[in-house]
Amino acid sequence: MFKNLHVAIPGLFLMGVVSMSNADQKISAQSPPTATDADAFIKNAEARLLELNTVASRADWVKATYITDDTEFLAAQADERAIAAQVEFAKQATRFDGLKLPADLARKMMLLKTSLVMPTPADPQASAELTKIVSGLEGAYGKGKWCPPGKDKCLDIEDITRLMAQSRDPNELRDAWVGWHAVGKPMRKDFARFVELSNQGARELGFKDTGALWRSKYDMPADDFAREVDRLWEQVRPLYVQLHAYVRWKLRERYGAQAVPANGPIPADLLGNMWAQSWENIYPLVAPADAGPGYDLTEILKSRNTDALGMVRYGEQFFTSLGFAPLPQSFWERSMFTKPRDRDVVCHASAWHVDFDQDLRLKMCIDITSDYFQTVHHELGHTFYQRAYRQQPYLFRDGANDGFHEAIGDTIALSITPQYLVKLGFLSQAPDPSKDIGLLMQKALAKVAFLPFGLLIDQWQWKVFSGEITPAQYNRSWWALRLKYQGVAPPVERSEDDFDPGAKYHVAANVPYTRYFLAAILQFQFHRALTQIAGCKDPLNRCSIYENKEAGARLAKMLEMGESRPWPDALEALTGQRQMDATAIRDYFAPLEKWLEEQNLGKPIGW
């Protein structure tokens, strides 16, 4: 099972032949199976998967930090062996369905099956077809480009992302949006066939469809989880609606009444991001007056001659202040903190648990900026989580659900407050609370604006897998959901000749998305609980848990559980609650929500 956060594999879909051990052959020869057989099967699976994934993890590390054709080839081979074993063990696990097992053993069986994003059908021909289709869809996305008329250079998605972030020319933004979304159009037929074959594989594992398989990993019936996600959205929707209304009239001031309606959806190309999933790039257009925080963290770090190693030391110091042990020496020796001058590397920040034990590493190309200071704290949240659950059995060495890992990293980043910077000696005193509105606006444009998008991607995919959305309705249903949840609309007329979902990587590459929505909810719930434990009486956005051992002990208790218990147990261990609660977001952004309501008086709300 791929548990390392760095492994960017679009679903565990590769199929291969896995040699069965003598124990497996003995089990498969027995009928009916017993609990003893199941225990032997799981022990063999855990040992084999740990072995294969450790090898794959080492190969992936070399590939990421020393990119050559050879390292890519060797890593791909190691990954394929590990993925094939995961698929095969998941299918073998169905032999024990319906057998009464001890709770831990039953949970391991469940995790073994639900960890698959896309099981291939048993039929070799169908399996090969599915593998080829998914590889082709991801490849089509990766090779996608927009070639602006009259320009010498075609732009890939990285180029277009920068353009969308920086341009304020509505014609250029519209053209770039239309140009990139053309990448999805050729995917439609293959995507429909992918859905058929993926569902076939899911049914062979005992699930109604692939969407039901994805939802079944959340320790509740699949349909109950879908309702739970909608409940969380309704809790936070009033804040989003106020932010949406404010941003809409500010964009209307900038681009004019013909471009932005007074009371309708916002054109998707004007929000600073290709998918309108995050709006922080338009902060200069919507910033409150006198919104500066009163300090520049980047300048402070540079004035103190902070280097990359020092940035990571600050992050480690945060955790040791909570009572966690320092990181092992091997972490400092084996991590990559700066970009080497002599070779190509993957600079994208990631936390690695190479041997699923004590070999912990970070891979980053750190610049001395405020953003990287936040990122270091975030990534170390993953690192300390990984170390905390390392003594669990292999199948339990992961976050309580797939939203927890990202949420922990973001929770730690929420404690980087002016008060924390005062304790580090970066500031002599915290700025007046009146300066908080600008900081909260910046954060809301990233985190609150993301919530409906984080929700709707899988809402669409679940409905496609279930058959509620047919191929003839792919595009209109996509935009119906984007209108319902986000209040955004395409900048030009779209039709069923288009396939706009394919212009988002996670759809083209078959990557579930609800984890990001859950992480966005959980980080604020975690932060609220930890700051209450720490006894913070300030507004939630001003609270930091730095140096509080009691909060650290509560955090450690949850981290050590890994995935050994249903996530409500882990949530309760940290927060005292057994239900996810989005009201913490409203609490955190309460000063901004009040300010937005004042700004929006007399203006249209909603769409």
First-to-last C-alpha distance (Å) of the chain: 44
Cβ atoms of 538 and 419 closer than 8 Å? yes
Strand 488-489 versus strand 266-267 pairing type: parallel
Residue 311: name the closest of 290, 335, 294 by CA.
335
Q: Is the pLDDT of residue 11 over 80?
A: no
φ/ψ of residue 360, rounded to 5: -100, 140
Give the residue carrying structure tokens 């291969």: 16
What's the rounded Cα separation, in Å, for the pair 490 and 177?
9
Distance CA 29, CA 547 (A): 57
Q: What are phi and psi of 361, to 5 degrees?
A: -150, 155
Q: In this predicted model, what pLDDT tens digit does every residue of 374-422 receive, in sequence order?
A: 999 999 999 999 999 999 999 999 999 999 998 998 999 999 999 999 9
Q: What is the C-alpha to C-alpha distance for residues 137 and 141, in angstroms, rounded to an integer?
A: 6
* The one catalytic residue among 88, 280, 379, 593: 379
| Mean pLDDT over the full length of the chain | 91
pLDDT digits (tens, 9 = 90+) for 482-523: 999 999 999 999 999 999 999 999 999 888 999 999 999 999
pLDDT band at 30 (very low <50, low <70, confident <90, very high): low
Q: Is 419 helix (H, G, I), strand (E, B) or coil?
A: helix
Mean pLDDT on 454-483: 97
Does residue 506 carry a catalytic annotation?
yes
Structure tokens of 569? Answer: 């147990």
Catalytic residue (one of 228, 506, 547, 597): 506
Distances (CA, A) of 184 to 263, 277, 483: 30, 18, 20
User: Among all chains, which residue has been given the structure tokens 């609606």?
Assistant: 241
DSSP designation for 267 = E
| Residue 25 token pair | 């052959």
Continuous segment of H or E residues that includes residue 331: helix 329-334
Q: Using CA atoms, how far apart are residues 142 and 149, in angstroms rounded to an integer? A: 21
Q: What is the 3-state secondary structure (H, E, C) of 464-522?
A: HHHCCCCHHHHHHHHHHHHHHHHCEECCCCCCCCCCHHHHCHHHHCCCCCHHHHHHHHH
Q: Is the pTM of this model over 0.95?
A: no
Alpha-carbon distance 339 to 363, whole Å? 9
Any idea what DSSP says for residue 348? S
Q: Count H helices and E strands in the chain, helices first.
A: 26, 4
Annotation says 496 is catalytic: no
| Domain boundaries, given as residue ranges, for the chain | 1-115
| Per-residue model confidence as pLDDT tens digits over 119-147 | 788 888 998 898 889 888 888 888 899 99
Measuring CA to CA, how many Å separate 155 from each of 170, 276, 345, 347, 466?
18, 19, 22, 21, 36
Q: For 295-329, how does the pLDDT look when each residue is reduced to its tens digit (9 = 90+)?
A: 899 999 999 999 999 999 999 999 999 999 999 99
Closest residue by Cα to residue 390 from 382, 45, 549 = 382
Segment among 4-18, 95-109, 174-188, 309-323 with least mean pLDDT: 4-18
What are the backbone dihedrals phi and psi of residue 353, each rounded to the nearest 5 degrees, phi first?
-120, 75
C-alpha–C-alpha distance, residues 323 and 366, integer Å: 26
| Angle of helix 69-93 versus helix 103-114 axis, rounded to 10 | 130
Calpha distance 135→13 (Å, rounded): 10
The H-or-E segment that residue 101 falls in is none
> How many Cα atoms occupy the beta-carbon half-sphere of 316 within 13 Å?
16
> 294 near 421, Cβ under 8 Å?
no
